[in-house]
Amino acid sequence: MAVTYPLLQKAEPFIRQCYEELGKRADETEQRLMEINEAIQTTGTYTHTIEELEHGAKMAWRNSNRCIGRLFWDKLDVRDARHVHGTDAIAEELLEHIRYATNDGKIRPTITIFRPRDPQGNEVRIWNHQLIRYAGYETENGIVGDPASLAFTKQCQELGWTGGQGSFDVLPLVISEYGGKPQLYDIPAEDVLEVPMEHADYPAFTELELKWYAVPIVSEMRLNIGGIQYTAAPFNGWYMGTEIGARNFADEDRYNLLPDMARLMGLDTSSKSTLWQDRALVELNAAVLYSYKKAGVSIVDHHTAATQFRKFEEREEAAGREVSGNWTWLIPPMSPATTHIFHRPYPNRIVTPNFFYQERLYEQSTVDMDSYTHDDQHDQSEVDQSKQMGGGKCPFH
């Protein structure tokens, strides 16, 4: 088969690195490579052991160039859902992921891995950008809700979902399997932990009636482990405060709340030189951190996250591994010059295992069933297409 040799080329370096890190003997490594070679020659693919799957997923987090939270890569909880068939069962696994990761606010970094794409191109896909996200509606009076969700909200409506036309309506799950019609599943309200926004120094902030969900579970990316493409592998860490306060709430093409925050603070907004945007941005982010901590929900501020990343760098250096990074994504969107990350360069080298973008099915007229080789050729270029990600998020936040 045409895919056989390229796939073995991808499998071998992964197995050798994985087994070395796991402390396997040389004869165990060679035996496993012989098994994989035979499987590829016979079936065109191979199956990861649970140990390979778990460590491969952790390596993918460690290799995620955009993520500032990689210190905890080896604490990732890996849920093996490769046995799950049917969209109903897949939906239930996704709900269980939400419940497990949420953990009453004590967020667990978690990934759930479904069956990989097979040699014929059959695959499982989760159409949502994140398992939990708010809808966006176009109305006569402008956009209501999250503008980043407009296209996906329309797709859900075409599938029969109506929504509540509110600012914080949780979108349903949309799942397809092996090219079948996408199926829609509502997420029970009791499974979605949300944090109401307050400000410690501005009581009137509650008048904005803001909230945000506790767990960011990215669900549209492809996980590549040793050449095997897991097209449905939702994963999460916990939020860094600026992702909500400086991006989701503050960006003009998202909820655009800086003018509201400035009004509550009584700031002079007549000129940008008054720095009202900067002052409002700080207090908006302070509100997010205050609210999550008051609710007992895991979150990290960007200064602490940068300190943790420095520790990650030190540990990787001690392990003899080069730390790669996309500098433009690693620096926080607020006060980046106060972190050490701002003042040093990082090689933006892409290695696997890793996470890569996929076509958003609701934005495509046709689904491109890539071959293994096609995926490998595109892994490098896809990483830099930040516009596909939306929301300015690193993969694990």
- 3 state DSSP class of 210: coil
Residue pair 6/373 in contact (Cβ under 8 Å)? The answer is: yes
Residue pair 9/222 in contact (Cβ under 8 Å)? The answer is: no
Question: Among 67, 117, 127, 394, which one carries the catalytic annotation?
Answer: 67
- Is the N-terminal amide bond of 259 cis, ω within 30° of 0? no
Place of tokens 């410690």: 200
The Cα angle at residue 238 between residues 248 and 289, in degrees rounded to 5: 60
Between CA 233 and CA 185 the distance in angstroms is: 18
Question: Among 61, 238, 276, 329, which one carries the catalytic annotation?
Answer: 238
User: Would you call 327 a catalytic residue per the annotation?
Assistant: no
Question: Among 32, 62, 66, 70, which one carries the catalytic annotation?
Answer: 70
CA quadruple 342, 249, 285, 169: dihedral sign: negative
Q: Around Cβ 142, how many Cβ atoms within 10 Å?
A: 8
* E strand or H helix that includes residue 53: helix 50-62
User: Would you call 18 a catalytic residue per the annotation?
Assistant: no
Q: What is the DSSP letter of 105?
A: G
Question: Which residues does residue 77 pair with via DSSP β-bridges, in sequence order?
Answer: 110
What are the φ/ψ torsions at residue 86 (nearest 5 degrees)?
90, 140
Dihedral, 97, 102, 107, 111 alpha carbons, nearest 10: 10
User: Would you call 70 a catalytic residue per the annotation?
Assistant: yes
Residue pair 193/214 in contact (Cβ under 8 Å)? The answer is: yes
Residue pair 176/361 in contact (Cβ under 8 Å)? The answer is: yes
- 3 state DSSP class of 277: helix
Question: Among 54, 243, 283, 313, which one carries the catalytic annotation?
Answer: 243
Between CA 167 and CA 133 the distance in angstroms is: 11
Between CA 259 and CA 277 the distance in angstroms is: 8
Q: Around Cβ 189, how many Cβ atoms within 10 Å?
A: 8
Any idea which residues carry the catalytic annotation?
67, 70, 238, 243
